[in-house]
């Protein structure tokens, strides 16, 4: 039994619960809503009430990465074929990037050819809200997260069986939780946060962060350069400007960004320019890509602390800059050491 179903004391696999839950419902407790939860293995709960997430615009702006804020809170749309979840085909769960509510399972994901992640059904109709959208001279049905009212995308009636629907979503509105990883039960109103680090070969860096308590998910990829959807071979050529990087999703109630920075400094040599041990090239540079002004302040402060501590005898060359597009690396690079069953050693 998963942590989620275990916690809620219900049996997994109750596939009929969505229908039952969508019937006539009593009003939920004040400030709450009825939803169904799901874990990364597809086990779904019956109807449960959880608190709504209400924040001011300033609070959302401070809490979310810029792109997620633009989409969820400003009804933005990401460019077609550019979202990081478009080519995500691993089994798992997609939760709201604003409040953590489970929204779509990988079993309902399909390739629509439109350039946006597409699903034929949500985890539960309770978990989404539909609104009429008459912008852009069209009449469309907007999809929002029922818990935080975040804009997710639109739904169209040209999808595949069994529903005939196509939920057309923005990657930055969602967070992917791979199968087997625990889903934070969304009972708090603190959204998950994102961190991006480069510290040499991404295999080892990813392995260290993935096993850190409070880290919900990791992905390895390429960022900081200029070539969209670069391949490993292109990055290794040194002509893309990209660094090998690890994108981290973490629960700030369980681990702080400052603690992640500490792990970053402790697990590589930030004094070697464009090099980590035997790995030479600017793709192996030491870099912190920040997602908010708060992260930038913390990163600069931690770098200053490291310099003053004189832990490293040579000057620290770590770059600190704003996070840009992150291009997920080929699947064989994801959780490489776990797949190979070897200890993380390559990055030092």
Catalytic annotation, residues: 168, 201
Q: Which is nearer to Zn ion, 148 or 217 (CB)?
A: 148
* Angle at alpha carbon of residue 42, lines to 3 and 94, rounded to 5°: 95
Residue 152 found at the interface with Zn ion (CB under 5 A): no
In the chain, beta strands by DSSP E: 32-38, 44-51, 92-96, 102-105, 109-110, 118-119, 128-133, 140-145, 151-156, 166-169, 174-178, 193-199, 215-223, 243-250, 275-276, 279-280, 286-290, 319-322, 326-328
Binding-site size, Zn ion (CB under 5 A): 8
Q: Which of 96, 152, 173, 306 binds Zn ion (CB under 5 A)?
A: 96
Q: Which of 42, 117, 122, 150 binds Zn ion (CB under 5 A)?
A: 150
Residue 95 found at the interface with Zn ion (CB under 5 A): no
Min. distance of Cβ 105 from Zn ion in angstroms? Answer: 16
Task: Quote the DSSP letter at residue 213.
Answer: T
Min. distance of Cβ 152 from Zn ion in angstroms? Answer: 8
Q: Are 207 and 338 in contact (CB under 8 A)?
A: yes
Residue 153 found at the interface with Zn ion (CB under 5 A): no
Beta bridge partners of 140: 133
Stretch that binds Zn ion, among 32-40, 97-105, 159-167, 280-288 (CB under 5 A): 97-105
Other residues' Cβ atoms within 10 Å of the Cβ of residue 27: 9
Min. distance of Cβ 180 from Zn ion in angstroms? Answer: 23
Q: Which is nearer to Zn ion, 104 or 327 (CB)?
A: 104
Stretch that binds Zn ion, among 99-107, 128-136, 316-324, 328-336 (CB under 5 A): 99-107
Going from the C-alpha of 338 to that of each of 49, 83, 332, 342, the distances in angstroms are: 37, 26, 11, 7
Residue 191 found at the interface with Zn ion (CB under 5 A): no
Q: Which of 47, 109, 147, 210 binds Zn ion (CB under 5 A)?
A: 147
Q: Which is nearer to Zn ion, 122 or 150 (CB)?
A: 150
Q: Are 42 and 14 in contact (CB under 8 A)?
A: no
Residue 166 found at the interface with Zn ion (CB under 5 A): no
User: Which residues sit at the interface with Zn ion, rule CB under 5 A?
Assistant: 96, 98-99, 101, 145, 147-148, 150
């Amino acid at each position: 039994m998963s942590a989620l179903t275990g916690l809620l004391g219900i049996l997994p696999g109750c596939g009929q619960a969505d229908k039952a839950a969508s019937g006539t419902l009593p009003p939920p407790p004040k400030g709450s809503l009825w939803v169904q939860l799901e874990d990364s293995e597809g086990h779904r709960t019956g109807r449960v009430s959880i608190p709504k997430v209400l924040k001011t615009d300033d609070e959302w702006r401070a809490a979310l990465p810029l792109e997620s804020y633009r989409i969820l809170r400003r009804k933005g749309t990401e460019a077609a074929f550019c979202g990081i979840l478009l080519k995500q085909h691993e089994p798992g769960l997609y939760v709201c990037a604003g409040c953590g509510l489970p929204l779509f399972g990988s079993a309902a994901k399909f390739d629509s050819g439109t350039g946006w992640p597409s699903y034929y059904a949500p985890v539960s109709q309770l978990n989404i809200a539909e609104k009429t959208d008459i912008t852009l001279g069209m009449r469309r049905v907007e999809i929002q997260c029922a818990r935080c009212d975040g804009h997710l995308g639109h739904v169209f009636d040209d999808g595949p069986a069994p529903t005939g629907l196509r939920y057309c979503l923005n990657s930055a509105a969602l967070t992917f939780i791979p199968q087997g990883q625990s889903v934070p039960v969304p009972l708090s109103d603190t959204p998950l946060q994102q961190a991006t680090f480069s510290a040499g070969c991404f295999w080892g860096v990813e392995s260290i962060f993935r096993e850190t308590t409070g880290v919900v998910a990791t992905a390895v990829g390429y960022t900081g350069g200029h070539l969209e959807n670069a391949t490993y071979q292109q990055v290794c050529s040194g002509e893309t400007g990209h660094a090998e990087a690890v994108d981290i999703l973490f629960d700030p109630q369980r681990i702080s960004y400052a603690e992640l920075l500490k792990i970053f400094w402790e697990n590589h040599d930030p004094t070697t320019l464009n090099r980590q041990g035997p790995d030479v090239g600017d793709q192996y540079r030491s870099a912190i890509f920040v997602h908010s002004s708060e992260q930038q302040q913390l990163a600069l402060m931690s770098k200053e602390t490291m310099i003053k501590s004189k832990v490293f005898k040579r000057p620290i060359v770590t770059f600190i800059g704003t996070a840009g597009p992150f291009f997920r690396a080929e699947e064989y690079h994801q959780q490489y050491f776990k797949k190979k069953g070897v200890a993380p050693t390559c990055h030092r």
